Amino acid sequence: MKNKSPQLILASASPRRSALLETIGITPSSIQPADLNEEALKGELPPQTALRLSQEKAKAIAAKNKDVFVLAADTLVACGRRELPKAETEDQARFCLELLSGRRHCVYGGITLVTPEGKMVSRLVTTRVQFKKLSKTEIEEYIQSKEWDGKAGGYGIQGLASAYVKNINGSYTNIVGLSLYDTLNMLKGNGFH
């Protein structure tokens, strides 16, 4: 009798994360977003927040699901020590774009995997991104596109904003929402096939 391959639950509401996994042939058995307060703790730096949130999401979903793999992630954009919001309004998106214009910023991706045995493995992925100087017109055109809606840092690199990126140092898929290189290595290294 063939061993039944273990199930993988994606603890994320992000359609981009499940789409990214599918590009490398991984389809989660189910998608169960963890409903958590995603605000940074007092004195916490952006990379620490991204890692902690991925761990809390994974723990919350693993507590309800036994004998499965649980994969969770959190993506955060920061300019210096300042965490940028997930843009939900035009004003938030405009604030982010004006701040990112002509500057470098970091995209932090916290990834956590809980194995069927309950072992937890986490990794922090950092990608540095440099935006060109944006004109008022470019910012307003991007605002009108609505591509910023719900995106960390007020932009999605896989759309119109790709034209604003001068330079990337690190994982492109981390900016989209999940570093596939790191995720695949974590899964394979912990017995997921």
Spell out a b/e string for 4-35, using b for 16 or more CB atoms within 10 Å of the CB, else e.
Answer: eeeebbbbbebebbbebbeeeebebeeebebe
Catalytic site includes residue 74: yes
Which H helix or E strand runs over 11?
A: strand 8-11
Give rounded-to-5 percent helix, strand, coil for the chain.
35, 25, 40
Q: Which one of the listed residues 35, 74, 91, 149 is annotated catalytic? A: 74
What is the pairing mode between strands 165-169 and 8-11? unpaired
Closest CA to 9 of 51, 82, 64, 84: 64
**What type of residue sits at position 83?**
E
Helices (H), 24-153: 46-62, 90-100, 136-145
- Name the residues annotated as catalytic: 74
